[in-house]
Amino acid sequence: MPYSLYFNGEILPNETPLLETNDLGLLRGYGMFDYFRTYQGVPFRWDDYWARFANSARSLHLPLPLTQSETADVLTDLYKRAGVAEVAFRFVLTGGYAADSVTVSQPNFLIRCEPLPKDNPTAMREGIKVLPYDYVRDLPEIKTTNYLHMILQAAELKRQGATDLLFHKNGEISELTRSNVFIFKGDTLITPDRNVLNGITRRAMLELAAPHFEIQVRPVLFDEVLHADECFTTSTTKWALPIVQIGDRTIGSGTPGHRTLLMQELFTKLVEAWGR
C-alpha cells in the first residue's frame, strides 16, 4: 500500500502536491519539523517527541492545529494505511499562507508517514568520519527546517569521504547537522549542554548510561573531542553511531571503542523491548 500523509485535516497520498506559493515556510524559511519512528509498530517515546514539537511551536509563536490525542489518532490511521511493520513519521509545521508575505495567520500542518531509511551496518561497525565546521545553529533548541549549511557542504563531504559536519564555535562544539554528540574520557560520558537540540535519543542514551558511567552534561571544548578516547553521535536513525575521525584527526584508536559498543547494545535492547 502507498504511504499517506495528513495535511490540514485531510489524508492524502504522499505524492499529492500541497502548498501554495505564499507559504511562509517557502518564502521565509519560517517552519519547523520533527521526525521519529516506530518499534514493534509503536511510536518511540511519543510523549517526549510531542512535548519537544509543542515547545518548538510555542517558541516560534505557531499555534498547533491538533491536540496530542488528535495527532495520535492521525498517526494510528497513517500507520494502518501503510501496511508495513515499521514506519517513520515526519511532522512539518509552517507559518502558513501570508497575503503580505510576512504575517502568520493559520499554520499549515503536515504529517508524512514514510519508509524507514536503510540501515548502515558498516558505519555502525566501523564508525564514520565527520568534518569540523565553524558554525552554531540559530535557535538550536528548535528543530527548524533550515539545513542550508548541510546542503551547501554536501559536495565537500562527499569529496572527503565524510558523513556529516561537526559544528563548533569559539573553541566549543555543539552538535552535528542532524544529531547530538557524546565523548568518552575513560569511564566518563560527556555531552554538550548548550547550543544543541535536546535530542530524544540523546535523552534515552543518558538514561541508559547512568548505571554504567559517570555523566557530565556541560560545555565541551573542540580540543577535548580531538583527544577523547571515544566519540559517537545519536539520533532517531543513528542510534549510537561511532565517530572515529574528525577531519584529518583520528579519535582514540580509530575504531569504535568498547564503551560506545556497550551503548549500542543497551539501546538495541531498549528498542527491541519497546511496545511489548
Angle between helices 46-59 and 200-209 (to 10 degrees): 130
What is the pTM (predicted TM-score) of this model?
0.95
In the prediction, which pLDDT does 1 show? Answer: 63
Q: Which amino acid is at 137?
A: R
Query: E strand or H helix at 33, and its extent?
Result: strand 31-39
In the prediction, which pLDDT does 34 show? Answer: 97
Radius of gyration of the chain (CA): 19
pLDDT along the chain (276 residues), means of 10: 93 96 96 97 98 96 97 98 97 96 94 95 96 96 95 98 98 98 98 97 98 98 98 97 98 97 98 91
**Domains of the chain from N-terminus onward:** 4-114 (3.30.470.10), 121-272 (3.20.10.10)
In the prediction, which pLDDT does 105 show? Answer: 87
Tens digit of each residue's pLDDT (9 = 90 or more) over 218-258: 999 999 999 999 999 999 999 999 999 999 999 999 999 99
Runs of H (alpha helix) within 160-256? 200-209, 222-226
- CA-based nearest residue to 241, from 120, 60, 99: 120
In the prediction, which pLDDT does 81 show? Answer: 97
Write the burial class of residue 152 (CB in 10 Å: 0-12 exposed, 13-18 middle, 19+ buried): exposed
User: β-strand 180-185 against 230-235: which pairing, if any?
Assistant: antiparallel
In the prediction, which pLDDT does 275 show? Answer: 82
Distance CA(156)–CA(230), nearest Å, equals 25
